[in-house]
Amino acid sequence: MKMDIPAERHVRILQLLKDKGIVRVDELSRDLDVSVITVRRDLASMESDGLLERTHGGAISANVKINEPSYLDKGRQNVSIKTVIARKAAELIEQGETIFINSGSTTSLVLRELVSIPRLTIITNNVGALHNLEAGSDIDLILTGGSLRAGTGCLVGEDALSRLSMSFPATTIIGVDGISFRRGLTSHNPHEAAVTRKMIEQTSGRVILVADSSKIGSLSLHHVCPLSAVSILITDSLPDSSMQEDFEAAGVQLIVLEDKKDQIKS
């Protein structure tokens, strides 16, 4: 049905975003029975009002996720996908490296995958590292110190930031709560955001972001860094193939593992 009134089109676009999380320009043009130029004009207007975020091929929702899932809930979500992502991240690490790793469910799995790599030095605020690194592994584990966030296994605060400021690793592996093309990486908690930001600032080489596809297009309350600060994103899939151009425009190398999800062995 043709929609000539902009307000009607905007309501329809918001409803589609609520249902699907992402909309494409060509699909909206057909759905609204208007030109592609009109759709692009609508999306630009709605983005300026903070209602959505434009991507190369369409738009994603700009809704901020306010509630932080518990650490246990995070650990139960998308475990098989996160395991594949973690294994790929470990493949990128050379023996003898010094690495920063932040807290999170996916980075905890990365820690578990690193045990077979000789002579690593891992500096982390993730208390779960104590459980994920096997006894006898050839890893020098350094906890940042700091205040323990209740129920998260995460060390934060000035002591953590001070310890991080003493090192300049060539590689940092991070997880985040949200990935936005316009607003960058975000976190539910300001103290965790500060620790991750410090890790990135201190890194002399690669910043590897490990995140399942549910994080792409999500927005949390606290800014970590612009997307351009990331060197490599390892994820299971893209919500839309056109997003590849958005990541490339930000200078991010993509490693998409959707064809490897079924390769996990129990």
pLDDT in tens, 30-79: 999 899 999 999 999 988 888 888 888 889 887 777 666 655 556 566 78
Pair (187, 254) in one structural domain: yes
pLDDT tens digit string along 154-185? 999 999 999 999 999 999 999 999 999 988 99
CB-based contact 249:230 (threshold 8 Å): no
Pair (96, 40) in one structural domain: no
Task: Tell me the one-letter amino acid at 84.
Answer: V
Query: What is the number of structural domains in the chain?
Result: 2
100 assigned to some structural domain:
yes
Pair (150, 231) in one structural domain: yes
Q: Can you give the residue range of the structural domain that contains 83? A: 71-263
Pair (243, 191) in one structural domain: yes
At residue 188, what are phi and psi to the nearest 5 degrees?
-70, -30
Last-in-domain residue among 18, 43, 62: 62
Pair (22, 80) in one structural domain: no
Pair (43, 160) in one structural domain: no
Pair (97, 41) in one structural domain: no
Local confidence band at 218 (pLDDT 50, 70, 90 cut-offs): confident
Beta-strand ranges (E) seen in the chain are 22-24, 52-54, 58-61, 64-65, 98-101, 120-124, 139-143, 147-149, 154-156, 171-174, 178-180, 184-187, 206-210, 219-220, 222-225, 232-235, 253-256
CATH number at residue 100: 3.40.50.1360
1 assigned to some structural domain:
no
CB-based contact 220:187 (threshold 8 Å): yes
In the prediction, which pLDDT does 61 show?
82
Pair (81, 51) in one structural domain: no
Q: Mutual orientation of helices 105-113 and 79-91 as an angle, nearest 10°?
A: 50
Pair (140, 206) in one structural domain: yes
Pair (134, 237) in one structural domain: yes
Q: Alpha-carbon dihedral of residues 20, 23, 27, 31, nearest 10 degrees?
A: 70
Which pTM value belongs to this model? 0.85
pLDDT at 94 over 60: yes
Beta bridge partners of residue 209, listed in sequence order: 174, 233
Pair (157, 206) in one structural domain: yes
Pair (252, 216) in one structural domain: yes
CATH number at residue 47: 1.10.10.10
